[in-house]
């Protein structure tokens, strides 16, 4: 069985208002799940609008990332309140938590992304972390959210940094799925890969105009946020598990194992992972276009103020045995890096990271 998309999708500048009648049919006692103080005003608006629909509404906030401790606590709150749905309003960690909690309790999940930072509002997947933000594993869910509400006016309020992060994460769809699915003859998978190629091209062309332009009447901005939050999700939905993540996300998951003072967004870390994957393809798979792709990506990433080295993520790979820790986690048995269609060993990871940091920090 393959869950391709949310059952209902509302999108555009008035998506939340248009979704209200559907929400009132679906739920009578929703729990609004959020986290950030930055999005509190939006969540208060959601709360008031639902109360005006005569719904019995409750609030709950995550204390950490999408972690088992928070998930267990929120499940108990829902059971005490007898809530019949979860409305997850926030970034990727909030959306992932809401989806997983709803599935555990067999109640519907409504996702309301408040930034364009990931496609988590679409997908049938939740990434689980420790309280400190260290990646543990991803969990495939039985279905995508019941309803996705992608309101442009909500997303306009998010910091530009979240848009840059979303662009980087969406770009990874092409660089990872194109290599992991290159030998698969399933037509639907190949169509998903081609959608990811068009997605990449659009982001490379429009990303800067979206990042530096106005929100109002700017098709580059609206097209880009929907590319990050909707099209990127569609690629995973159509391609399914065969249209996999690969080295870029494997590196991301390993970098999160190193605790740093400053937190970085998922896509910011994945962006560095894409650059490392291309270096690995160049080194082990004789990809002669890899260096050209890196130069193309670096141009856009620097415009978007994205990190382009591991050091810029606050990690010195040459101290505290960090290089060994990253290589071990990247190469562990269940790592996505093993979806690459060529053989690598742990020493290859050590070598590519060492060379990458020495070269990129000189640029």
| Cα distance from N-terminal residue to C-terminal residue, the chain | 47
Same fold, 8-155 and 161-360: no
Side-chain half-sphere CA neighbours of 111 within 13 A: 39
| Contact criterion met (CB below 8 Å) for 252 and 227 | no
Q: Report the distance separating Cα 228 and Cα 171, nearest Å.
A: 9
Phi, psi of 297 (to 5 degrees): -65, -45
Q: How far is CA 265 from CA 107, 223, 246, 270, 327, in A?
A: 29, 21, 18, 9, 21
Q: 291 — alpha (psi -120 to 50), left (phi > 0) or beta?
A: alpha
> Tens place of pLDDT for every residue, the chain, 363 residues?
788 999 999 999 999 999 999 999 999 999 999 998 889 999 999 999 999 999 999 999 999 989 999 999 999 999 999 999 999 999 999 999 999 999 999 999 999 999 999 999 999 999 999 999 999 999 999 999 999 999 999 999 999 999 999 999 999 999 999 999 878 888 999 999 999 999 999 999 999 999 998 887 789 999 999 999 999 999 999 998 878 899 999 999 999 999 998 999 999 999 999 999 999 999 988 888 999 999 999 999 999 999 999 999 999 999 999 999 999 999 999 999 999 999 999 999 999 999 999 876 554
Domain spans, the chain = 8-155, 161-360
Does the domain formed by 8-155 have CATH 3.40.50.1970?
yes
Query: Is the separation of the CB atoms in 20 and 57 below 8 Å?
Result: no
Sign of CA dihedral 9, 13, 19, 21: negative
CATH homologous superfamily for the domain 161-360: Dehydroquinate synthase-like - alpha domain (1.20.1090.10)
pTM above 0.75? yes
Nearest to 116 by CA among 144, 96, 92: 92
């Amino acid at each position: 069985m393959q869950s391709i998309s949310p059952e209902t999708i509302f999108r555009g500048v008035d998506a939340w208002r248009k979704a209200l009648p559907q929400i009132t049919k679906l739920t009578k006692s929703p729990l609004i799940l959020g986290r950030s103080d930055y999005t509190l005003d939006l969540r208060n608006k959601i709360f008031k609008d639902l109360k005006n629909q005569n719904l019995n509404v409750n609030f709950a906030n995550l204390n950490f990332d999408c972690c088992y401790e928070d998930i267990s606590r929120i499940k108990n709150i829902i059971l005490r309140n007898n809530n019949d749905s979860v409305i997850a309003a926030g970034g990727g960690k909030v959306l992932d938590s809401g989806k997983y909690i709803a599935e555990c309790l067999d109640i519907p999940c409504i996702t309301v992304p408040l930034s364009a930072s990931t496609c988590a509002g679409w997908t049938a997947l939740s990434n689980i972390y420790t309280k400190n933000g260290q990646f543990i594993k991803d969990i495939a869910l039985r279905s995508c959210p019941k309803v996705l509400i992608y309101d442009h006016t909500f997303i306009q309020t998010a910091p530009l940094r979240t848009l840059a992060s979303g662009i980087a994460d969406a770009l990874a769809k092409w660089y990872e799925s194109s290599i992991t699915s290159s030998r698969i003859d399933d037509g639907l998978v190949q169509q998903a890969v081609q959608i990811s190629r068009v997605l990449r091209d659009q982001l490379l062309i429009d990303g800067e105009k979206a990042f530096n332009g106005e929100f109002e009447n700017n098709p580059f901005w609206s097209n880009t946020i929907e590319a990050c939050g909707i099209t990127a999700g569609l690629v995973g939905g159509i391609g399914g598990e065969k249209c996999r993540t690969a080295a870029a996300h494997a590196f991301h998951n390993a970098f999160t194992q190193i605790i740093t003072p400053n937190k970085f967004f998922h896509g910011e870390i994945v962006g560095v992972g894409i650059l490392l994957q291309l270096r690995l393809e160049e080194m082990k798979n004789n990809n002669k276009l890899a260096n050209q792709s890196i130069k193309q990506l670096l141009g856009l990433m620097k415009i978007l103020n994205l990190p382009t080295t591991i050091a810029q993520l606050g990690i010195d790979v040459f101290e505290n045995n960090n290089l060994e820790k990253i290589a071990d986690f990247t190469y562990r048995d269940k790592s996505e890096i093993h979806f690459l269609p060529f053989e690598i060993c742990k020493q290859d990871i050590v070598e590519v990271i060492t060379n990458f940091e020495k070269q990129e920090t000189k640029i």
